[in-house]
Amino acid sequence: MNKKTENISGWKRFMKSMTKAHDLGTEEDILLEHDYDGIKELDNVLPPWWLYGFYITIAISVFYYFQVFYNSEEYSQAKEYESEVAKSKVEVEAYKAENPEKFNTDNIVAFTDDENIAKGKELFTSKTCFACHLNDLGGSIGPNLTDNSWISGGDVKSLFNTITNGGRPGKGMIAWESTITREERIQLASYIISMQGTSPANPKAAEGDIIFPVIVEEKTEE
């Protein structure tokens, strides 16, 4: 018997030990007496590989159960959730600290000059804001932007925040932070403010809370 034959024979022996499979032609040795409409049954045993896997699963389950039972505080889902939330808050605050220009709205003041208002109007058109608010800002799918009732605030800082981070969840307005610059977002908000009090052709019914007329502040040069 050559080496190749020995290797094949060794593999076959291993497979036989892991499957307990009977050789073809020896079915009579394990044939049961049952007969169901001509269908007979062989008394095969469960393959050892399957049993080993089953036993390992049981062992892992028992180990896991005792780990959870004796260390319930450490493995508590509630504790894990609270830990993840706390970790996320730290990461958010760190990101805000590293990017103050994205979150600090204290120095945001509406533009009132014709050039910046015109750029804001151009942005309103080019970014297809009119698709939801119409060209005259009277509102369609989106709310009326010319009245004094606002869902998320009608001052320049609130408008800037809405344009930056998007509208209410599920309403379709996307966040424009990554698409247009900070100054362009202020220009867009300034244009919307400049249109408050105008008379659109078919104004949509007021939505949100009534806010007093916005006092537009002059933007000073630094």
Q: Are residues 197 and 127 in the same domain?
A: yes
The mean pLDDT of 46-70, rounded to a whole number, is 87
Q: Is residue 218 part of a domain?
A: no
**Alpha-carbon torsion, ordered 100, 102, 105, 108, to 10 deg:** 110
- Domain contains 94: no
Asked whether 189 and 163 are in contact (CB, 8 A), the reply is yes
Is 50 inside any structural domain?
yes
- Is there a single domain that holds both residue 120 and residue 201? yes
Q: Is residue 86 part of a domain?
A: no
Instruction: Give the domain-ending residue among 14, 35, 70.
Output: 70
Q: Is the dihedral of CA 150, 155, 160, 165 positive or negative?
A: negative
Residue 123 and residue 52 in one domain:
no
CATH of the domain at 184: 1.10.760.10
Residue 215 within any structural domain of the chain: no
Q: Which amino acid is at 83?
A: S
Q: How many domains does the chain have?
A: 2
Distant-in-sequence, close-in-space partners of 110: CB < 8 Å, separation ≥ 6: 156, 186, 189, 190, 193, 214, 216, 217, 219
Does 106 map to a domain? no
Write out the residue range of the structural domain in which residue 43 sits.
3-70
Q: Could you report the per-residue pLDDT of 170-184, keeping only the tens digit for each?
A: 788 888 888 999 899
Q: What is the tens place of the pLDDT at every residue in 73-132?
A: 666 777 888 889 999 999 988 887 887 766 667 778 899 999 999 999 999 999 889 889
**Do 121 and 44 fall into the same domain?**
no
55 and 132 co-located in one domain? no
How would residue 49 be classed by pLDDT, with cut points 50, 70 and 90? confident
Task: Give pLDDT, residue 2.
Answer: 46
Residue 217: inside a domain: no
